[in-house]
Structure formats: structure tokens, C-alpha cells
Amino acid sequence: MCVRAAILCGLAALAPAAGAQQATPEAGALGMLGLDGPYSMSREGSGTSWQPDSTPMSGVHAVHGAWMTMVHGQADLVYDGQGGARGATQSFSSSMLMFMARRELEDAAFGVHVMASTDPLMGASGYPLLFQTGETANGRDPLIDRQHPHDLVMEAAATYSLNLRPHTSLFVYAGLPGEPALGPSAFMHRLSGMDEPEAPLSHHWLDSTHICFGVVTGGYTWRQLRIEASGFNGREPDQHRYDIEVRSLDSYAARLSYNPTRDWSLQGSFGRLASPEQLQPGVAVRRSTASASYNAPLAMWWQTTLAWGRNAPSSGPSSNAWLLESALKLRHAHTLFGRLERVTKDELFLPGAALYGRSFTVNKLSLGYIFDFARRGALDLGLGGLISAYSYPSILNAAYGSRPVSVMVFVRARL
């Protein structure tokens, strides 16, 4: 509770002061331009990714002379009960606090992204999540059926955008850490997925590169079209969550993004990660992704994302992941959300186990609801829950049980 109290106090302290305003769905139309180009800020997702232009803008915005700033944050206190023979229970707190600033220059703009999290406080092994794999808690053993925590510093990046014509620009983005041009917006920034307190099983096919220790991205924007390329370090963060890791730019990626209308955002991307897994340093991965996000003109907002990712390692079989997630804001206080995933997992067993190295197709459906019961300034307080069910080959019944069900109950503070 002390962790949550500290986060809530920190978020409350960022409530609007004189001259500040909470963003609204119409804010983009008021002339708030993006950090990476001459378009509405509402188009910008995590890193340099795009989302639909009609996406409601969160956070608190203010103007200080030539600077425009935005602060956005979220903290969840979660009771996690993962069912089945491999399940576990745990209470934990996860959070994210993001600061962005933009300064208008002559025919150009300079921007800053900073994002931090208290996730390391939950411990190096993270929280229970059935069928989740990736990274390590001790540098020796892989995490299995657990989701790793994020690093204390999730992003520290700067951008420079040069306007060539009214709707055309060149930009450069550099971060330590930062996010390369690979995949859709990270799950905690997607409007369709940010209400869910758990990470997707497809995280390591779609957006696991959202924290890379060393990224440089350059791109060209023309109206609703963007092409960009990145050089970055492909190694995922290690178990030391409080440090900044300095590594060479040994990987590359390219992404094409297109917003045909205000309500649609499409992307396709490809990258080569030189050595993403700490426990498999000699294995490179070629990753391909494609996604589409849509805002339906219904209720306050309704966003849905369909995404596909494919990992082709230099050693071992290729694997695919599919994700369909959606969130519907009915009124100011009521949000429904859900996520359907289909992933191929080959890391569910340690060496020596009979099923070690075999691939299994796992399907997961999660449904949830959150009620925002109070507001303190710009801070919304909500109470929510979700339930998850799974299907998988019967050969896994001995390890996981035949019909495990997982639940999460959580209190959320969002700025």
C-alpha cells in the first residue's frame, strides 16, 4: 500500500495548475501539433508509432512560453490469481509516468520524451501470468508463466522534426532507452489495450522492443503516410531494472505507417534483432509485424486493434502470434475491454523436461470492466476486474490442468 500511496500522491501533485488543461478528444483540433511532424498530437503513440488521429488525448497539457508540455500517468494496484496447476497468486503494483515537451522552432520542432515506472519494486521475477515467457530474473533461468517488470527508466529520448512543406516533414528520434520503428504502439499506450492491467502473451512478437538501450530513428512523413528506419540495440533489458545499459546499435528495423482516415491507423514493419535474449546470445531473430487500429464513432470512444507478429530465429522454428483487443468507453465512468490472442509457445519447459523445446499453440480470452468511481482534479480513480480462460493441446493438461481460469482485481489511478 505504501508504493501505491506514493504513486497516487505523485500523480495528484501533477494535477492542472494555472495555465494547464486536461486534454479532451477535441484537443487535437485546437492546434496541438505532434513532436515528430506537422499533424495533430493525437496521432502519436509510443516512440514514433502512430495511432488513429481521432484517439482521445490523455494527460494534462500546458503551455509555458515557447514550450508545450504533457504529463500522463497510470498506477495499478492488482490482486492477481492465476489458475491451474502452474498458477500462483500475488498482489503487486505497476505504474507508468510519462512527460513530453515540444518547442516550436522556425520551420521545425524539438521534442523530449521521458517515461519512468515503479515496476522494479514488484521484484525481479515480476508477476504471475500463465503461458507468458521471456527475459530472466537472475541471469541464469528464464521466466516462465510470469511477466517481467519494466525498467525504472522506460524512455529518455529527443526528437527533431523539420517541416519541408505544410504536410511534409523529416524527423530524427534518438533515445537511451527508446523505441525503434518496429511493431504497433506498445500495449500500455494503445487505447484498445491500456485498460488491461496485464501484458499480452503476444508481447514478444509485437512490441517487446519498446525499451531498447540505444535507438536512432529517421523518417519521412507525407500527409497520412510515414516511412521510417531505425538502428538500435536488439538485446532485451536484463534483470537489473534500475540501471541504464549502454550497448552498440547492432539491429535494424523499418516501418511503413498509413492513416487513411481519422479513425484508422495501419502499419507494417520488419526488423532484425541481433541477440534479443540474454540467455541465448548467439540467436538472432527476424521479426515481422502488421496491425490495424480503428476508432468506431460510438459512445465516448471504441477502439479495436488487430495485430500479427512473426519471429524467425536463426536457430529453431519460426512462430506466429495474433492479437485482437478492444475497449469501449460507454460513459465517463464505465469501460469494457477484452483481448483474444493466439500464440505459439516453445519456451514453456526447462531443459530436461519431456516437453522441452516443443511448440504449442495457446489461445487466451480475457474480458474485463472498470468503473471510474471518483475524480481528484485531473486524477481518475477506478475499480476493475478481468477474467481469463485458455485453450491448448491436451498434452499440456498434466502441467497446467484442463480448464484453468485466471482473475485480476485492481484499483487504478490515471492522469
CB 143 within 8 A of CB 347: no
Q: How far apart are CA 361 and CA 352, in angstroms?
A: 21
Q: How far apart are CA 380 and CA 414, in angstroms?
A: 5
Residue 30 scores a pLDDT above 70: no
Q: Cα-atom radius of gyration of the chain, to the nearest Å?
A: 20
Total residues belonging to the chain = 415
Q: Quick one: pLDDT at residue 208?
A: 95
Residue 350 scores a pLDDT above 90: yes
Which residue, chain included where needed, has cell 479513425?
263
State the pLDDT confidence band at 224, using cuts at 50, 70 and 90: very high
Q: Quick one: pLDDT at residue 351?
A: 93
Q: Give the number of other CB atoms < 10 A from CB of residue 246.
A: 9
Residue 4 scores a pLDDT above 80: no
Q: How far apart are CA 321 and CA 344, in angstroms?
A: 6
Q: Quick one: pLDDT at residue 37?
A: 87
Here the cell at position 409 is 482485481
Lowest mean pLDDT among 15-29, 77-91, 307-321, 323-337: 15-29
Give pLDDT tens digits for 264-296.
999 999 999 999 999 999 999 999 999 999 999
User: Mean pLDDT in the chain?
Assistant: 91
CA atoms within 13 A on the CB side of 382: 25
Between the two ends of the chain, the Cα-to-Cα distance in Å is 19
Give pLDDT tens digits for 62-80.
998 889 999 999 999 999 9
| Run of H or E residues at 400 | helix 397-400
State the pLDDT confidence band at 31, using cuts at 50, 70 and 90: low
Q: Quick one: pLDDT at residue 166?
A: 85
State the pLDDT confidence band at 170, using cuts at 50, 70 and 90: very high
Q: Are strands 264-273 and 379-391 parallel, antiparallel or unpaired?
A: unpaired
- Virtual CA dihedral for 145, 327, 151, 289, nearest 10 degrees? 80
Residue 17 scores a pLDDT above 80: no
102-125 mean pLDDT: 95
Here the cell at position 267 is 502499419
Give pLDDT tens digits for 43-61.
999 999 999 999 998 889 8
- Among the listed residues 346, 364, 365, the one whose alpha carbon sits nearest the alpha carbon of residue 356: 346
CB 239 within 8 A of CB 269: no
Q: Quick one: pLDDT at residue 9?
A: 42
Domains of the chain: 2-15+34-59+69-414 (2.40.160.10)
Give pLDDT tens digits for 244-271.
999 999 999 999 999 999 999 999 999 9
Residue 12 scores a pLDDT above 80: no
| Run of H or E residues at 8 | helix 2-12
Instruction: Pinpoint the alpha helices (H) of 185-293.
Output: 203-206
